[in-house]
Amino acid sequence: MERRPEPELMDSEAQTAAYAAADFNESNSLFTRLFAESFPDCAGSGAMIDLGCGPGDIALRMARAYPGWRITGLDAGENMLRRARERFRSEGEALDVTFKHGYLPDDSLEEAAWDALISNSLLHHLPDPLVLWHSIRRLARPGAAVLVMDLCRPAGMAEAQALVDHYAADEPPVLRDDFYNSLLAAYTLDEVRDQLEKSGLAALSAGMCSDRHWFVQGRITD
């Protein structure tokens, strides 16, 4: 199935309200578990950036798991950031987390300043996927940990609809529609591996981590 791009921003009031209220515990727990398994030596302190942080759940989870780290969540959606800051005020005021508005590429972010770079479900929104990988190269310190996860485009529309019916059966229509459109806009694992090759990040490993997600992990070597 050919990729069908969707808008770069999902930031309407209805979309952000549905997204913030949805139960993403399974996929967000998978993400944090993958980070812990991929980088068991990430104790102590450091600077981490969450690219496309959305309503902030993963940034706050990482702050709890790594209390010595300074974590910045970056998102282009003002409504998403409002939800993230509301969640921070209600759940995590004692944590070292900052939420920042910005688009990739974002020249205001300090180059080679980050010890860990994470991103979940951002890539399929970008018109040019290389923007994410080039940003990671620019922002990462040598040896920085990288974990990126996103949806994997199914073989056809029927498979995409089956995934929506299975995983979002009880969600509101706006979230079901967004999930379906995101599946159609997602990149396949082979496409992601090609992007890594073109970006000079072929040393990072890529694989499937669920029936609907791929992940990329590794350390920046130069």
List all residues 6 or more positions away from 217 whose beta carbon is below 8 Å from its beta carbon: 34, 35, 38, 39, 145, 146, 147, 148, 204, 205
For residues 41 and 8, which has the higher predicted lDDT (pLDDT)? 41
What letter would DSSP give residue 147? E
pLDDT on residue 92: 67
We report the CATH number of the domain holding residue 124 as: 3.40.50.150
Distance CA 33, CA 103 (A): 27
Kindly state the average pLDDT of the residues 188-201.
98
Q: How many domains does the chain have?
A: 1
Q: Is it the case that residue 202 has pLDDT exceeding 80?
A: yes
Residue 9 in domain = no
pLDDT on residue 15: 78
pLDDT tens sequence across 5-34: 987 766 677 777 776 677 788 999 999 999
Residue 171 in domain = no
Residue 179 in domain = no
Distances in Å between the Cα of 142 and the Cα atoms of 25, 27, 43, 200, 218 are 32, 28, 17, 14, 12
* 105: preceding bond cis by omega (within 30 degrees): yes
The band of 124, judged by pLDDT with boundaries at 50, 70 and 90, is very high
pLDDT on residue 19: 67
Q: Is it the case that residue 105 has pLDDT exceeding 70?
A: yes
Residue 2 in domain = no
Residue 43 in domain = yes
What letter would DSSP give residue 22? S
Residue 166 in domain = no
Kindly state the average pLDDT of the residues 88-105.
91
Q: What mean pLDDT value characterizes the chain? A: 93
Residue 162 in domain = no
Q: Is it the case that residue 94 has pLDDT exceeding 90?
A: no
If DSSP codes are grouped into helix, strand and coil, which group holds residue 193? helix
Residue 89, domain extent? 23-153+188-219
Residue 55 in domain = yes
175-193 b/e (C-beta count within 10 Å ≥ 16 → b): bbebbbbbbbbbbebebbb
